[in-house]
Amino acid sequence: MHIEQIYTGCLAQGAYYITSNGEAAIIDPLREIKPYLERINRDAVALKYIFETHFHADFVSGHLDLSRETAAPIVYGPTAQPSFDAIIAKDDELFKVGNISIKVLHTPGHTMESTTYLLIDEEGKDHAIFSGDTLFLGDVGRPDLAQKAANMTQEDLAGMLYDSLNQKIMPLADDVMVYPAHGAGSACGKNMMKETVDTLGHQKQMNYALNQPNREAFIKAVTDGLTPPPGYFGMNVAMNKQGYDSFETILNKGMRAITPAEFEAAAEETTALILDTRSAADFYKGFIPQSINIGLNGDFAPWVGAMIVDVKQAILLVTDAGKEEETVTRLSRVGFDHILGHLKGGFDNWKNAGLEVDTIHRISAAEFAQQVKIGESKVVDIRKETEYAAEHVDEAYSRPLAYINDWIKDLNPNEHFFLHCAGGYRSMIAASILQARGYRNFSEVEGGFSAIAKTNVAKTDFVCQSKVL
């Protein structure tokens, strides 16, 4: 028996490849299936089942492409109603894979069809659970994503999750390994550990959700402090449930190279969004007007989903040379399939063609320290509320990037302000959005709060600890 966790940091997502005696199973695969096919061919095994823990909200699964390529059936837990052929398993049903068995544990609460898969080894011993979004390391799945579809409140689902954990998971032995679908950084939980594998016994000891005294306390604990889910989540659920175009089709479209003249015409003639995936350090020096910058070298896919929201939005890409395929792949993981193509030769080709170029007013942290006047200057901090609460520039406004569409209308276009995040990645996203919407009255701070906190002024009078405004 062999278990491999295939972890994708950008989405903080774990897929699982399991083999035993010439057969394999894959749990919660990502959109691009090449990595799984390579492993199957390398190990000369037959893929017997593709297990899905639930209809994922934060990414598009590769289950359909993988099933088409290998003829392996897709397996969901009880109550799932996909629009394609799949095995809808019964609670406690066993599936044989080589010399091991995978047992279905229906664990509703995160979603109604949420299922944990218990791996029973060759000796008949409970070895591991693949818990999906039911149980994370340090947390449990949020109960507010499926409430409309289930016609239930988040409290109803939280109570159902409590029952699932206590009836199906907690009775298992302490030495059972826990393999969750996500880790720290995912929007599917609020308190996840950076580790990606643990024992159930350790989780029983330290996971706050598993240590609540009763059902009511559990419901309060897991629903407290939930932030609104990203807008694209519901669209990804629909794609996972109803189907989608093959990844190869999407990749071929995205790999279409468009000349600067064609790119300019497409931008003017369509409602396509220009997405520039270069680093903030390159973007601010020059970019195509109206471009939105979300750097590929960061939490790219989640921020695309949070900022663009509509997966049907047509997109024109500007990338670094050689990064076109990676960009299309990572967009497809969160369902952004309507890619018209990419700028041939990148931004340099656009600039060399003599076409219009825009820039962002970026200043260093040292310049910020010289220019800012506490009590007079306006400072907009776009980090998360928890980051702001830990430490921030005195009298700065807390305006998280995730809610930019809510607070942008409150900005005075005639009043200058300073804009920063933690390190410059998120503030350049915000700067590009602001400028695309006509706001040019700001200075974005290079290096963000991390750099500001190292300035001489920061050490004396304007970095403080406080609560969220």
pLDDT in tens, 194-215: 999 999 999 999 999 999 999 9
Q: Which residue has the tokens 């973007």?
A: 283
State residue 436's pLDDT score.
96
pLDDT averaged over the chain? Answer: 94
- Give the per-residue pLDDT at 460: 44
Terminal alpha carbon distance of the chain: 53
| Cα(39)–Cα(184) distance, integer angstroms | 26
Among 352, 376, 408, residue at a domain's last position: 352
Say whether both 153 and 35 belong to one domain.
yes
Q: What is the mean pLDDT of residues 69-86?
A: 98
Residue 433 has pLDDT above 70, yes or no: yes
Total domains in the chain come to: 3
pTM of the model as a whole: 0.91
CATH at 342: 3.40.250.10
Query: Based on the domain organization, do 251 and 269 belong to the same domain?
Result: yes
CA 120-121-127 angle, to 5 degrees, is: 65
Average the pLDDT over 17-26 and give the result.
Answer: 98
Same domain, 115 and 222: yes
Q: Alpha-carbon distance 444 to 454, whole Å?
A: 17
Rounded Cα distance between 72 and 70, Å, is: 5
Rg (the chain; Cα; Å):
24
Regarding whether 251 and 152 lie in a shared domain, the answer is no
pLDDT of 466: 46
Residue 352 has pLDDT above 80, yes or no: yes
Claim to verify: residue 386 and residue 435 sit in the same structural domain:
yes
* 309/383 same-domain check: no
pLDDT band at 309 (very low <50, low <70, confident <90, very high): confident
Asked if 174 contacts 201 with a C-beta cutoff of 8 angstroms, the reply is yes
Given this model, what pLDDT does residue 461 score? 46
List the one residue out of 59, 73, 77, 405 whose CA is nearest residue 244: 59
pLDDT at 200: 98
272 part of a folded domain: yes
Q: Is 188 contained in some domain? A: yes
- Residues 316 and 459 placed together within one structural domain of the fold: no
Whether residue 458 has pLDDT greater than 60: no
Q: Which residues contact 73 (CB under 8 A, 6 or more apart)?
A: 49, 50, 67, 85, 86, 87
**Are 124 and 162 part of one and the same domain?**
yes
What is the percent of the chain with per-residue pLDDT over 90, rounded to a whole number? 89
Residue ranges making up the domain that contains 439: 362-464
Digit-coded pLDDT (tens) for 357-415: 999 999 999 999 999 998 899 999 999 998 999 899 988 999 999 999 999 999 999 99
- Which residues are within 8 A (CB) of 339 and not within 5 positions of it... i.e. 6 or more apart? 250, 253, 254, 314, 315, 316, 317, 328, 331
Residue, of 467 and 365, whose pLDDT is higher: 365
- Residue 135: Cβ-neighbour burial (10 angstroms; 0-12, 13-18, 19+): buried
Token duo for residue 105:
């544990």
Same domain, 181 and 251: no
315-325 average pLDDT score: 97
- In the chain, the largest separation of any two C-alpha atoms, in whole Å, equals 72
Is 239 within a domain? no
Res. 464 pLDDT band, cuts 50 70 90: low
Residue 467 has pLDDT above 60, yes or no: no
Residues 250 and 230 in one domain: no
User: Which H helix or E strand runs over 22?
Assistant: none
CA distances from 204 to 53, 173, 176, 244, 254 (A): 21, 10, 11, 39, 46
Residue 468: band (very low, low, confident or very high) from pLDDT cuts 50, 70, 90: very low
**Residue range 422-442: mean pLDDT, rounded:** 97
CA pair distance 128, 121, nearest whole angstrom: 9
Domain boundary among 234, 257, 281: 234
HSE of 215 in the Cβ direction (CA atoms, 13 Å)?
Answer: 13
What CATH code is carried by the domain that includes residue 137?
3.60.15.10
Q: Flag whether 240 is in a domain.
A: no
Q: Is residue 136 part of a domain?
A: yes
Give the pLDDT confidence score for residue 34 in this predicted structure. Answer: 96
- Residue-wise pLDDT for 392-404, tens only, equals 998 899 999 999 9
d(CA 186, CA 58): 8
CA 196 to chain centre: 16
The pLDDT confidence band at residue 462, using thresholds 50, 70 and 90, is low
Q: Which of 334, 352, 370 is the last residue of a domain?
A: 352
For the segment 110-116, the average pLDDT, to the nearest whole number, is 97
The verdict on residue 357 lying in a domain is no
Give CA angle at 323 (185, 325), nearest 5°: 90
Q: What is the mean pLDDT of residues 418-434?
A: 97
Instruction: Give yes or no: residues 381 and 329 share one domain.
Output: no
Indicate whether 326 and 447 sit together in one domain: no
